[in-house]
Amino acid sequence: MKKISGIFIVMLALAGCYLDKEEELYPNGFSNTTDTTTYYYAKDIKPLVAGSCATSGCHVAGTGRSDLSTYTGLSTNKDAVNLRAVVQRTMPTSGPLSTNDISKLRNWIAAGALNN
């Protein structure tokens, strides 16, 4: 009985030894540095969204999808944009945004998604 208990304890201890891969834990990258750049809707975010999301047949009025072509539409859907484009990187459908564009969106949303 002691032998079975000992084997069980060893197996339990080994089961807890799992090597996590950083790229699996942090698919969007991990950095101890914080980007403190201020991004502006009119100058930085609107052109980014217009070129990547609010394109013909995609996230514009009349498509049945979220209209991201206006500040109101984008700010109303900022949580979904953050999830799909920044966290999951499943949007746009043509492929994920660049790291720089993801940083812009992330920081703009984190700063309150202001119409500045």
Residue 37 contacts residue 107 (beta carbons within 8 Å):
yes
Handedness of CA 81, 87, 88, 91 (dihedral sign): positive
Distance separating alpha carbons of residues 100 and 104, to the nearest angstrom: 6
Which amino acid is present at 8? F
Average model confidence (pLDDT) across the chain: 84
Report the pLDDT value the prediction gives residue 22, as an integer from 0 to 100: 60
Instruction: Give first-to-last CA distance, the chain, whole Å.
Output: 71
Which amino acid is present at 106? R
Residues 6+ apart with CB under 8 A from 68: 49, 53, 54, 59, 60, 74, 77, 81
Residue 45 contacts residue 104 (beta carbons within 8 Å):
yes
- pTM of structure: 0.68
Give the DSSP H/E element, type plus range, for residue 42. none
Among residues of the chain, what percentage have pLDDT more than 90? 52
Chain segment 50-89, per-residue pLDDT in tens: 999 988 888 888 888 888 999 999 999 999 999 999 999 9
Report the pLDDT value the prediction gives residue 3, as an integer from 0 to 100: 79
